[in-house]
Structure 1
Amino acid sequence: MQSFDDFKISKQLQYAITDLGFEKPTPIQSEAFSIIVSGKDVVGIAQTGTGKTFAYMLPILQMLPFAKQIQPRVLVLVPTRELVVQVVEEIEKFGKYSDIKVLGVYGGTNINRQKEALALGADIVVATPGRLYDLVLCRALQLKAIKKLVIDEVDVMLDLGFRFQLTNIFELLPERRQNIMFSATMTEEIETLINDFFIGTHKIAVAVSGTPLENIAQSSYAVPNFYTKANLLVNLLQDATTFNKVLVFVSNKKSADLLFNVLNEHFNDELCVIHSNKTQNYRLRSIKQFDEGKNRILVTTDVMARGLDLDEISHVVNFDTPAFPENYMHRIGRTGRAEKEGTSLLFYTEKETKHKEAIEALMDMKIPEKDVPSEVKISKQLAPEEQPQLTEPNNPHKPSGDYVPGAGFHEKKEKNAKENQGGSYKRIIKKKYKKPKTKGDKNYNKRNKK
């Protein structure tokens, strides 16, 4: 399909698409529309930045008639709070000319305010699994009217350990519903989830996981340590015209704070940071300021690597090379969105070389390497994680294999070497009844006596 006119959608949706400036659907949007409209269960695999949110929301909004009921008819599950906020904003843009009511619920905020909002009614609820389950358990939200379940970024859901919560939510939902799942990668866990809970799921794959987007220019720098990486980044960021909107990914919260402190000396008002230890209001404010251009540089962990749609990011800097190559794909997908040009830089140390090689193997291409500029100072200072771990040679935590005990060492006496078997009474009861006698049921052993 070359045009949204081919979808045969309502005039209200056409007006919204025109306002958003969309001219033609992306491949995942073209593939998904007719299948979702048909009512089949769907799992869509497409790279980040290819319009997955619109791919499932356009057919859902087309099929969602006006209704006065309070209970929601569509449930969208996403892994992070920021993604809840973004998906709600996107749905509101798509449904600008309709009477569709959408509500986002997530942890880290007052649950009572969300209860009050749910009591007023909503057609679509966008939620993180934990907060959704809490709201259902306290009867603030009923799922009996749900007709369509969407799980966005399902691979991240499973990576973050949400499978148990998803299973519980499935049991609370009506059996007759349409299941729609979208992901950037197809993993064994997703296959298992599909086989365990869904029947006849139609699979759509428009790009192989690991295929680099053609409009993203990639390059790498070999650097010895954290502080040399920081010096290189400061040197590059001095060119504010070229590096006009930069997303910097680090591996963990400590590194994010450490790098923020280094960069803050040079780019005070241009800098912001996000990681899971920051409050929800701080995170949302940082995202807004970065998206609007008030801050030029955003330092973050992988909490920002998935799903979030930020406009016109010029560069993605992988300050730390991700240990999982798929995460690299998600990171660089923050730039080069909507068919625009983007640039990705990868900094790697000698220890991170194997991670870089895994990324190149996944993409089946070599990342071009650049020389570190001569004016960048090579630092000898090591970050806490890079410093060698000191152990006392004469007081090791674990004796080495060639350890020989001294003269003061002696084996336990025979009476002290016996294993504690739990007392004679427990042993006798266990032998007689095969199982230990329980305190909770006096007749347990009689019923199970053999």
Structure 2
Amino acid sequence: MPFKKLILPLKDTIANKGFEEPLAFQKQILSKIKGGASLFAIAPKDSGKTTSIVISVIQRLKSAFEDAPRALIFVRDKQAALELELEFNLYKRGTDLRVYCAYEEYDIEKQREEIYIGTDIVIATPKRLNRIFYLNGINLNKLQMCIVEDADLLFRGSHFAEITRTPESIGKCQYLIFSTEFDKRFERWQDSFMYNAQIVKAKKQ
């Protein structure tokens, strides 16, 4: 999907950053994501995976709508959440999309209150997201996109089971798993909520 097909605010931001066309791996996946496909996106570092997440979510959601989040992105820790939030804030200029981070190093009651006020995109660590959901602090009924950033790094901890719980609580959704390699544990997801997902691996240069 060429950048010229993006919504105007996003296209302007990308042009201002000096990007003329997608990276090679982005050319492989952006149009598939826009088409609604669930993907295992497998590529090495610096292939444009994080930027693909940001562009795809903004392109899909376009503007703020109601209170419940429509995109959920799992990250490994607070630092990763804040870094991704910064990327969203840079690329969503010209839109009114709302981004919220949920991680352990913050008062959970305040997080529940702030999420309740309304957000479009939630960036969360798996453990904190599940804790908030358990406390009825987040509505996932409107979720359209469920994304895992750097899945291989997440799985080095005990996050696999935490992430797996979320699809059990939501309806139809687009799932996007980004990783540097295809983990054998992904096969469990293929047998359940990602049974129709495509596997897209970066082409060798």
**TM-score calculated relative to the size of structure 2:** 0.92
**Relative CO higher for 1 or 2, CA cutoff 8 Å, sep ≥ 6?**
2
1:61 corresponds to which letter in structure 2? I
Counterpart position of 2:98: 101
8 Å contact kept, 2:9–2:95? yes
2:188 aligns with 192
CA drift at 1:172: 1.4
The whole-number CA distance in structure 2 between the counterparts of 1:133 and 1:18 is 38
Q: In the aligned structure 2, how far is the partner of 1:190 from the partner of 1:199?
A: 10
Shift of 1:78: 1.1
8 Å CA contact 1:45–1:207 kept in 2: the answer is: no
Task: Identify which of 160, 166, 169 aligns with 1:163.
Answer: 160
Note the 1:130-141 alignment, pairs <5 A: 130-141=127-138
Q: What does residue 35 of structure 2 align with?
A: 38
Task: Determine the C-alpha separation between the residues in 2 that align with 1:133 and 1:165.
Answer: 7
Query: In the alignment, which of 193, 199, 203 is matched to residue 199 of structure 2?
Result: 203
Which protein has the bigger helix share?
2
How far apart are residue 22 of structure 1 and its match? 2.0
SS in 2 for 1:96: coil
Q: Any conservation in 1 of the 2:40–2:199 contact (CA below 8 Å)?
A: yes
* Map of 2:119 onto structure 1: 122
- Tell me the CA shift for residue 103 of structure 1: 0.5
Aligned positions of 1:48-447 closer than 5 A: 48-174=45-171, 176-207=172-203
> For 1:146-177, what per-residue CA distance to the aligned partner results, in whole angstroms no more than 9, with x for missing partners?
01111111122222121221222121122x11
Runs of 5+ unmatched residues, structure 2: none
Structure 1 runs of 4+ aligned residues shifted over 4 Å read none
SS in 2 for 1:196: coil
Report if aligned partners of 1:100, 1:123 keep a CA contact under 8 Å in 2: yes
Deviations 1:199-222 (CA, angstroms, capped at 9, x unpaired)? 2111111157xx9xxxxxxxxxxx
Identity %: 24
CA RMSD of aligned residues (A): 1.8
Number of residues paired by the alignment? 205
Q: Secondary structure at the match of 2:148?
A: strand
Is the contact made by 2:64 and 2:96 (CA closer than 8 Å) also made in structure 1? Answer: no
Deviation at 1:185, TM superposition (A): 1.1
| Cα distance in structure 1, aligned partners of 2:190 and 2:157 | 18
TM-score, structure 1 normalization: 0.44
The residue number in structure 1 matching 2:3 is 4
Instruction: Please list every run of 5 or more consecutive structure 1 residues that lacks an aligned counterpart in the other structure.
Output: 212-450
CA–CA distance in structure 2, aligned partners of residues 48 and 195 of structure 1: 27
Q: Deviations over 1:31-57 (max 9, x none)?
A: 111100111111100111221011122
Which has the greater radius of gyration? 1
SS at match of 1:145: coil
Q: Residue 74 of structure 1: CA displacement?
A: 0.6
How far off is 1:67 after superposition? 4.2
2:85–2:100 Cα contact (<8 Å) kept: yes
Distance in 2 (alpha carbons) for counterparts of 1:64 and 1:139: 24
**Preserved contact between residue 36 and residue 56 of structure 1 (Cα < 8 Å):** no
Please state whether the residue corresponding to 1:182 is helix, strand or coil: strand
CA–CA distance in structure 1, aligned partners of residues 90 and 25 of structure 2: 20
Matched residue SS, 1:203: strand
Residues of 1 paired with 2:113 and 2:16: CA distance? 32
Name 1:277's counterpart in structure 2: none
| 1:168 aligned partner, one-letter code | R
1 CA distance for matches of 2:47 and 2:164? Answer: 28
Corresponding residue SS for 1:109? coil
2: distance between equivalents of 1:166 and 1:83? 16
2:46 and 2:158 mapped to 1: Cα distance?
24
